[in-house]
Chain A
Amino acid sequence: MTFFLFNLLNGLQLSMLIFLMAIGLTVIFGLMDILNLAHGAFYMIGAYFGYVVFQATGSFWISLAIAPLLPLVLGFLLQYFVLQPLIDRGRSAHLDMALLTFGLLFFVIGLIDFIFFETLGLTFMSIDKPAGLDSYINIGTFYPSYRLFIIAVGFAVALLVWVVLERTVIGAVVRAGVDDREMVRAMGVNVYFVFAAVFALGCGLAGLAGVVAGAELSIDINMGVQILIPTLVVVVLGGLGSVKGCFYGAMIVGMTETLSQAYVPALALFATYMLLAAMLVFRPQGFFGRAPKTV
């Protein structure tokens, strides 16, 4: 029972980390129809910049507050000055965007590698856990308190995003944009700004996930690609643009990865991909995906 509880919490922790990544990606994809494969790069930028801020200040909390701002600003600039002008010129096909953003991911990987490894000689780094979250809590078994913190952050962000999207005017604008972008423009909304703001927030959340992960996992050059694959699986499972779908999708992927590793290790490598394949065959729009557009 203790072993099961331990793995259940681990699965929950991984689920929340993936959720922080996937929520931005699913809203960006659902709203703007942009397949942003550079999302992993913003996760990396958050983690590495978080490390830099932590080294400069010695405070995890300052790092957590400041580091997501860099991917947030970069995300805004990328959408407003690079992606949107390309879309306006007719280069908005999924393949165009996937190639561009995938290239950008590897550019960021190369740049970070040049700065941190080639220049500074750093390979595997991490941010120190803050006081109070660097110990273990007895819940029938000794469980790392920082992992509980990750679970709490994930739930808090899920609740915040849900409140913003479902209970505010800005959220209604975003949902309306997912339904019919053109009509939102025809209501007098500057969708370019809304798109850039949503893109930026998605990138900021990826950066937040990077900082949070940087204190639990190692910060290394492969982290952006490693997290991107389960994130994309979550987006497909949950359905594009659905916060609820993203949450449940992240829970399924996180739990499947963790529990399969614990109980059926032979399945661990491909259990998630079996789920993905089954979803694409039987319900390609995902659990909570729907035919968008106006009625």
Chain B
Amino acid sequence: MQITNSLRKLVMASLFGVYAINALAQEHDIMVVANIDNQTVKLDKVDIRNLFMGNASDVVLEPVSLPPQTLARAVFNTKIIGLTESRIQSYWSQMRFSGRSRPPKEISTVDELISYVSSHKDTVAFVPASAEIPAHLTVVYSTAKM
């Protein structure tokens, strides 16, 4: 009985844990920022998806990401990539172990990510919409209504 109870708790926790992060993702916004010279550049969702999924793209920028299970990444997956984290992981295992491409570099916190993009030309990253961005970075996309 106790085992069934703990099993139920475990299943519920994992179910609602993920539901919670998805529901939360809907309520939050992110922006995509790039370190580029031309500050008038805007990207569309397909450009960004291609960049972050390692597909060839007309835009040549180095994508940098946050680790799985961070809120900004959940928002990015849900609103821009359009795939769940598990599907993205499974996709990257196919790319990596068939020697085709590798997932974007991951940086553990938003502050470190912003400072990495600030100091590296031609990089692109997503950050929470509320993050403070240095003036020389360009917001190339935002999920918030402007």
Q: Do A and B bind each other?
A: no
Chain B interface residues toward A at CB < 8 A:
none
> What residues of chain A have their CB less than 8 Å away from a CB belonging to chain B?
none
